[in-house]
Structures are given as structure tokens and as C-alpha cells.
Amino acid sequence: MSISDSDSSHVGDTKTFRQITRDRLLYEMLRSTRTKESKSTWKVLIMDKLTVKIMSYACKMADITEEGVSLVEDLYKRRQPLPSMDAIYFIQPTKENIVLFMSDMSGRSPLYKKAFVFFSSSAPRELVAPIRRDASVMGRLSALSEMNLEYFAIDSQGFITDHERALEELFGENAETSQNYNACINTMATRISTVFASLREFPYVRYRAAKTIDASTLTTLRDLVPTKLAAGIWNCVSKYKSSIVDFPQTETCELLIVDRSIDQIAPIIHEWTYDAMCHDLLLMDGNKYVHEVPSKNGSSTEKKEVLLEEHDPVWLELRHAHIGEASEKLHDKMTSFMSKNKAAQIHGRGGGELSTRDLQKIVQALPQYSDQIDKLSLHVEIAGKINNIIREQGLRDIGDVEQNIVFGKAGTTELINFFRTKHNTSREDKLRLLMIYASVYPEKFESDKGNKLMQLAGISADDMIAVNNMRCLMAAQDTKKSSSGFKLTFDMHKKKATVREEKEGEEQKKWTQFRFYPLIEDLLEKLSKGNLPREEYPCMNDPSPSFHSTPVSTPQRTTNNAPHVPAQSVRSRRTGTWARPRNSDDGYSSDSVLRHASSDFRKMGQRIFVFVIGGATRSELRVVHKLSSKLQREIILGSSSLDDPQTFITKIKMLSQDISLDDLQI
């Protein structure tokens, strides 16, 4: 099993969300098995399909090896008996997993000498009971603990719960009768709650309230998703107050729960950052980029995989920059590097014999030169590919039309002209334009207008399913029955409901395609300032008096609005003994660029968590990083998944009844 590179950023004893996750896995779990009773130096780590992903997102294989693990195994695969070694089980508390564990460790011939069992979330008593009843297993059991860590830390400020089908199960046409509806919400609530268990945070829970058109309209299960999830999370974290040592007894942070209906455009529109363009245009497999490099003998090329993640300082610096700005900075970096690096200067001379002194300078500079030139060359290559695709596909023109529609500066005329003149536009880009247009101008899709636009764009009836299914993400107040055959049904009294106001800024002035912003940005700013409407976003819990506490110099808020956490309040972030270094070093390799790039969270106010049901976007991940600096509060984005446009469109199509992946043109 491969374990990917991880974020190693931290500032002193104050660490990022991803770093805290990593430390809990390495120190609180793996290192805790180094007991006097455990005679063996090396251990086997056994995980299931979910927990191996949890570990992969947070840790490197080298980190795990350093903590005494010599072998990583799959719980569901047949394994070789190692009766002289101890085993660490990091597994979900499910009946199937318990049965497999029992078969490993019971009887006269167990697979391992001793077992340390760590559950990823709270284990019901009835599941653990068979273990406690088996004397042979209990005699070999060195630990039975709940880690309460069941999420994927995809970013220093982001996580997902791995619910790729949340849209379909919670908002699809058959969600009302689906058996998966409650199971999805319950599992999601459990996994989100483990984030608060890891960070020792007790949240003040806000959620988007279900709304109805009038008293005669029934509230659907689809409308109640945020409410039900909020209740599930509140139920879980309330239990932590008595079950987890040092868990706060009063509110320490804010959690806002919304669903994908708050902004249907963000997952579809072209996001022009370096990060988003890589995933949108290069069809990467997760964060994996494959490129060709010269072979060792130099006579041919070979494919090489690299991970575009936070351990790469160039990626870390440029990922949220506009692709144009990223390209400019890469050019400047390469020029500066070639002019300042001695090895690069000598290497670039070409011809002539090198003096002994020149060779000495090359040798001295070579390791650093090789590493830096490889990183820079990689990103120059990637940016070059992206810019070529932008030119070939005419994405600047497409981007201008998209953004003009979003901000109300373009309508039917401009869209028709575009479809009539831009014949080389891809099927997918035309579909994305229509989906954006339908979200902003729903009234244009009444009667047969939608079919005419579809015919003009030249997209198939299969693609039009995605436009039709946008209705499934509309809140109750935005939907009503229509007598027309066209499925997209909106409230005609709310025209241009999602036209958003432009924001002035240097980036927006320089790059016309950088005007778009996800609506979650406005919600987070209102939440931080205490201006989020309570009737639209009620609270699941009544905050304790200490939640209102403010510095002495700050006047107490006495309004009846939702309680506001002062942005300047400094929270305590004690590092647990399990996460403290054993010596002056921190126990693992740390990249200096990442260390300095991390925000000094010690000076920030209380954390804000925002969870998007149905998939978050890279633009929303960019926003939480941006607002953390602006608001001086660490903001952590969570979601059921992180979706790129192609993935989101596929999921939208699957909201229809009787539609499967086999039926779709992907």
C-alpha cells in the first residue's frame, strides 16, 4: 500500500489542521504502542479501505516506518501469519471488521502475538461485546481504543467525508424513498464530528434552514438535509463532552452547514487559478500529474508521476494565483534562478572546457540546483500545457461569457451570438454555459425555450439531463410545479436570483476572468461579523455565556442577533503530550518554505468550520485560505467530496431516476 506525501507545515507548537491530524495518527496511535509489554521492535499495521485513505492523506510512508511499522496490510486480504510480531489495527467499528479481527486473533494459532486496536469512530457496545467475551482474544489484546478520526485531511484547511454519492442519495429524485438517505446523513455526521474530536473543539452549530413557499407546501426531505445533519453532529459532539478527556464543556468555535443549493454555479464555472486549471484541463488522477522525463541513459523518455501537494513550495505559493499570474511568476523565478545559481550559469555556457574551480562550484551547487530546477521545470511545463489548452479551446472567450452571465452583464442575446459564432467550442463547455445560464435566468427555460437553446448549442439530450436536474438543487422557495414538459422548475417571481455583485480588487482589475467568487465567501464574512441572519441560519445549540466573551477593551454585544465570536479573541491551542517532540527536533522532516508559509494561528481568533453537503469546489477552498488571513480566523472547509467540473456534471446527471453511469456520456 502506498502512503502519499503529506503536509509538514507548522509554526512552533501551533500546527495546521492537517498537521494535527498527522500527529494524532503517528503519535497518539502508533507511538502509543511502544510499551514495555510490547517486546517486538517492529509491528504490522492493518487497515481497511477507508482507514488506509485516512492515513494516506495525512502521512508519508517514511513517517509510519519511523514509528516502528515494518509492514502495512489490508484487513480484507489474506495475510501471512507473523506470530512473533505485534499488530496495530486501525479500522472502522463495523460488524464485518470485528469478525475479521476476531478470526485473526482468536483460537490457538493467532496471526499475531499481540493486538492494539484503534477504532476510527465511536464503537457501539454491542459490537465490542464479542471481543470482551472471547478469553483468547482478550489475553492478546494490548489496547482497545477509539481514535475518533474518520475524515480525509485533503488540505491544511480542508477535509472530506468520502461521500461521493451524497448528491444522488440526498437530493436525487428518489431521495424521498431511498434507504440510503438516513445512512448517508448519519455516517456524514459521525465523520464530521471526529474533526472536532481531533481538534478538541466544541462547535456552535449553524445550518441553512428549510424553507417553504407557503403554509400549504410540505417540506421535503431534500430541504431538511442541513437540519438533519446539524442535529446528527450536535448529538455526536455532545457525547464527546463526557467521553473524551479534555474535551471542551463550552463552545469554542463556529460551524456553518450548507448544501450545494447555495451556489450551483461554483462547481461548473471555469475557475482560473493554477490549482483549478490543473484539475479541470489536465484530467489529473486526484493530485497525481504524469509527465515525461529523459530516461537514465538519455536516449529516450519515461513517464514519471508527481504529486501536486503542499510539500511542494512552488505549488504552495502559486496554486491559488490566476493562471496568468502563475505563468508570469514562474518565468521570473526561472530567469532569476538561472542568473543567480552558479551551477546553472556554468551549465549554460556550453562549449569549452571547464576549469577545476568551475567543476568544484558545480559539485557544491548540484544537489540544490537539481532539486530546484526539477521543481521549476515541472511547473513551467504544466503552466505551458494549460496556456496551450486555453488558446486552443478559446477558453478566454468562454470565460468572459460565463462571468458576464453571472454578473448580469450578458443574457440571451450574448449567449445566442456565442453559440452561432463559436463553432469549435467543445460539447462540455457549451453544456457548462447552459447550466450557468439556467441557474441565473431560469425563466428563459419555460415552455420550449430550453429545447431551442439546446438545439442551437448542438448538445445532446443526454447532456440536457444535467441542465434539467439543476432543479433538484433548488431550495423549496425557489421551486414550483410547472405544466410544461421541461423539467427545470423555478419560481418565476425570483428572476436573476443568483446574479451576484462584482467586487473591486487588484486581481479583478488585472484579470477579467478573476471576477467570479463563490457565494460562500459572503456567508463566511457575515458569520465572522455576526451578521448572518438567524432566521435563515438558526443555531442547533444555545451558546454558553462564555461563548460571548470578548477582550476587556471590546464592548459586549447585546443585540438579539446570532452570537458573534470576536475575531480578535485568542484561543488556547495546547499541544498534547502525544504530539510533543522527543528532543529538540520535532521528530520529522519539515520544509522551511512550508513552515514560513503557514499562518501564525496563535494570533488568530476562534476557528470557523464550514461544511458543504454535496461537494465543495476548488474556488471555495481558495476562499477559506484567503479569508483566514483577511478575517484573522482559521477557516476549515469540509464537504462530502471535492469535485472538479466534469465530476460534478456526472453527479448532476445521476440525480435522475433510472440513470446509471453506463447510460451517461462521460
Of residues 398 and 354, the one with the higher pLDDT is 398
Determine the Cα–Cα distance for residues 373 and 362; give it in Å rounded to an integer.
14
The confidence score (pLDDT) of residue 14 equals 74
Identify the burial level of 393 via C-beta atoms within 10 angstroms of its C-beta, where 0-12 means exposed, 13-18 middle and 19 or more buried: middle
Report how far residue 4's alpha carbon sits from residue 305's, in angstroms, rounded to the nearest whole number: 12
Reading phi first (left if > 0) and then psi (alpha if -120 to 50, else beta), residue 574 is in beta
Grid coordinates given for 297: 541513459
The alpha carbon of 284 is separated from its chain's Cα centroid by a whole number of angstroms, namely 16
pLDDT band at 361 (very low <50, low <70, confident <90, very high): low
Residue 624 has pLDDT above 90, yes or no: yes
For residue 305, pLDDT beyond 80: yes
How high is the pLDDT of residue 487?
Answer: 40
- Of the two residues 370 and 140, the one the predictor is more confident about is 140
Q: What is the mean pLDDT of residues 81-89?
A: 96
**Whether pLDDT at 538 is above 70:** yes
The three three-digit cell numbers of residue 287, written as one number: 493530485
**pLDDT surpassing 90 at residue 11:** no
pLDDT tier at 252 (50, 70, 90 boundaries)? very high
- For the cut 70, the answer to whether the pLDDT of residue 414 exceeds it is yes
- What are the grid coordinates assigned to 638, written together? 469540509
Q: What is the pLDDT of residue 442?
A: 80
- 473's CB contacts (< 8 A; 6+ apart) are 171, 259, 260, 261, 264, 614, 652
CA–CA gap between residue 244 and residue 148 (Å, rounded) = 10
Cell 446523513 sits on residue: 185
Q: Give the per-residue pLDDT at 603.
A: 65
Mean pLDDT for the stretch of residues 25-37: 89
Query: Of the candidates 5, 164, 201, which has an alpha carbon nearest to the alpha carbon of residue 639?
Result: 164
Q: Tell me the pairing of strands 288-294 and 301-307.
A: antiparallel
The mean pLDDT of 416-445, rounded to a whole number, is 90
104 vs 142: CA distance, rounded Å: 15
Comparing CA positions, the residue from 578, 603, 636 lying closest to residue 17 is 636
Residues ≥6 apart with Cβ < 8 Å to 89: 46, 47, 75, 101, 115, 116, 117, 118
Angle at 358 between CA 352 and CA 364, to 5 degrees: 140
Nearest CA among 237, 188, 149, 5 for reference residue 638: 188
User: How much is the pLDDT for 569?
Assistant: 38
Would you state the cell numbers that stand for residue 397, as one nine-digit string? 472567450
Q: State what percent of residues in the chain have pLDDT above 90.
A: 59
Q: Half-sphere exposure of residue 451, counting CA atoms within 13 Å on the CB side?
A: 6
Q: How confident is the model at residue 597 (pLDDT cuts 50, 70, 90)?
A: very low
Distance between CA atoms of residues 574 and 14, nearest Å: 8
Tell me, what's the pLDDT at 488? 38
Angstrom distance (rounded) from CA 228 to CA 169: 14
In 3D space, the residue among 144, 1, 21 whose CA is nearest the CA of residue 65 turns out to be: 1
Instruction: Write down the pLDDT at residue 214.
Output: 55
pLDDT at 160: 98
pLDDT-based confidence at residue 537 (cuts at 50, 70, 90): very high
Of the pLDDT bands very low, low, confident and very high (cuts 50, 70, 90), residue 573 is very low
User: What Cα–Cα distance (Å) separates residue 451 from each residue in 53, 435, 447, 495?
Assistant: 43, 13, 8, 20
pLDDT digits (tens, 9 = 90+) for 477-505: 444 444 333 343 333 334 444 568 888 76
The CA distance from 457 to 470, in Å, is 18
C-alpha cell at 138: 482478550
Between 450 and 325, name the one with better pLDDT.
Answer: 325
Work out the average pLDDT over 150-177.
Answer: 92
Would you place residue 130 in the very low, low, confident or very high pLDDT band (cuts 50, 70, 90)? Answer: very high
Range in 146-155, 355-364, 435-444 with the lowest mean pLDDT:
355-364
Q: What is the model's pTM? A: 0.85
- What's the whole-number mean pLDDT along residues 33-49? 84
Instruction: Name the helix (H) or strand (E) containing 419.
Output: helix 412-421
Q: How many CA atoms lie within 13 A of 523 on its CB side?
A: 27
Q: What is the crossing angle of helices 645-653 and 461-468, to 10°? A: 90
CB atoms within 10 A of CB 102: 15
Q: How confident is the model at residue 357 (pLDDT cuts 50, 70, 90)?
A: low
Nearest to 455 by CA among 421, 480, 490, 420: 420
At residue 262, the pLDDT reads 93
pLDDT digits (tens, 9 = 90+) for 187-212: 999 999 999 999 999 999 999 998 76
Determine which of 151-160, 309-318, 580-589 has the lowest per-residue pLDDT on average.
580-589
Residue 565 is predicted with a pLDDT of 46
pLDDT of residue 601: 59
Select from 502, 534, 613 the least CA-distant residue to 262.
613
Distance CA 401, CA 430 (A): 11
Kindly state the cell numbers that stand for 255: 460551524
